Amino acid sequence: MLFIYSILKPPKTDLKTANVIKLLLIPYLIPTKTLMKNILPNGKNKCWKPSLLESSSAFAYFCNNLTGLQEDIDKRQLKYSQYGAIIQPYIIFVGKDLSSIDSSYIRVNKKLWCFDCPLKALEICFKSYFVFNCAYPTECYDSWLVIQQYLFKLFTKYDKSTSMTTSVTSNLNS
């Protein structure tokens, strides 16, 4: 437990860096186990089980510059189109390294919105799902559902709780 605490709150880390690291770790701490399927025109199923890295990148992504971000978006778009999926809103941190984040962005409908604070980016990204009536990305659904139910105290009839989300929210509430 001390090891995890030292990662989440290193002694010489400023608050912004600590928040970025915490946000990047959420999908690893609340993993979504899923299998994405798409039926191809020839009638065969094409399946994809996202890795933890892919799940994490669908939630929040770190890159050194916006040029690298566009390359990632292009690769992601190609992969998603093979499974009949689209890129949903997600958080992007840009900086030389994790301890020097210059900007926090959210990507919504091919547009980037810039924020000074990583937590503000999280809040606006979350709210954009409701404003634009988007579904959470399948690969990080559980992470967003815990944020929705625990941080924002928002429950809808469309929520699909899993044993992971139920366990995490009950532990956080106790």
Q: How far is CA 93 from CA 20, 62, 118, 143, 172, in A?
A: 8, 5, 8, 18, 26
Helix (H, G, I), strand (E, B) or coil at 86: coil
- pLDDT digit string, tens, across residues 39-59: 766 777 878 888 999 999 999
Confidence of residue 144 (pLDDT cuts 50, 70, 90): very high
> How far is Cα 126 from Cα 90, in angstroms, rounded to an integer?
9
> How far is Cα 122 from Cα 115, in angstroms, rounded to an integer?
10
Q: What is the pLDDT of residue 110?
A: 87
Q: What is the pLDDT of residue 132?
A: 95
Q: What is the pLDDT of residue 2?
A: 42
Q: What is the pLDDT of residue 40?
A: 67
Backbone φ and ψ of 37, nearest 5°: -125, 150
